[in-house]
Amino acid sequence: MQVQDTPEEWQVVATATPFKGNKTSVRTDDVVMPDGSVHRRDYQVHPGSVAVLALDEEDRVLVLRQYRHPVRQRLWEIPAGLLDVPGENPLHAAQRELYEEAHAKAEDWRVLADVYTTPGGCDEAVRIFLARDLAEAEGERFEVAEEEADMELARVPLPELVRGVLAGELHNTCLAVGVLSLAAARVGDGLDALRPATAPWPARPFEA
């Protein structure tokens, strides 16, 4: 048996959008179950996101500490952001986020993982990149606002982040998936076997 997620779409007999926000919305679908019954499913509609695990020459990961109001915590995270433009190339979006949040750039880009963050209640898809050969970005720093104006920036050794995830001290999805995927890749086929940065992404198709 091949263990692989596969596309499938059950019949929807009615749909509505009871809430539409600035970036996301809530959709209500009446879905036909395999036994023929119909049940209502509410979920958040999300444009998708990208995240960047930026690794420097000392094997440290570039991380940010940011307040997240829904969970009432200040979380350590990796640079990330929304796919604001439909069909936007995720690599370009990731490069933008690395510049805006960390004033950094990278020469080597790979795909670490593609994940659905909360598929039971949201259709958000995230592509997590590995970025290496880091350098400071040219020009002025991007002017941040709102929660991002209070961000802290640090570089933390990868083993310390892996330990923190497994100890239940670090909770951000992209950080956890990113550092554990990197650690697994190193003991597997190696980083050069990771998918190229332009690998297809069926969850959020994009232009080359």
**Domain map of the chain by residue range?**
12-45, 49-196
Percentage of the residues of the chain whose pLDDT score is greater than 90: 88
Q: Is position 148 annotated as part of the catalytic site?
A: yes
Exposed/middle/buried for residue 92 (C-beta within 10 Å: 0-12, 13-18, 19+): middle
176 touches 170 (CB < 8 A): yes
Q: Which secondary structure element, helix H or strand E, spans residue 97, and what is its range?
A: helix 90-102
* Mean of the per-residue pLDDT values of the chain: 94
The residue from 140, 146, 148, 152 that is catalytic is: 148
Strand 80-82 with 104-116, pairing: unpaired
pTM for the complete prediction?
0.93
144 touches 64 (CB < 8 A): no
The whole-number pLDDT of residue 149 equals 64
pLDDT at 44 over 80: yes
The whole-number pLDDT of residue 148 equals 61
Record the tokens describing residue 92, joined without a space: 């370009």
The pLDDT tens digits of the residues spanning 101-144 come to 999 999 999 999 999 999 999 999 999 999 999 999 987 775 66
- CATH number belonging to the domain at 49-196, selected among 3.90.79.10, 3.30.365.10, 1.10.1740.10, 3.30.70.360: 3.90.79.10
Q: What is the arithmetic mean of pLDDT over 159-177?
A: 98
Beta strands across the sheet bearing 12-20: 12-20, 25-32, 38-45
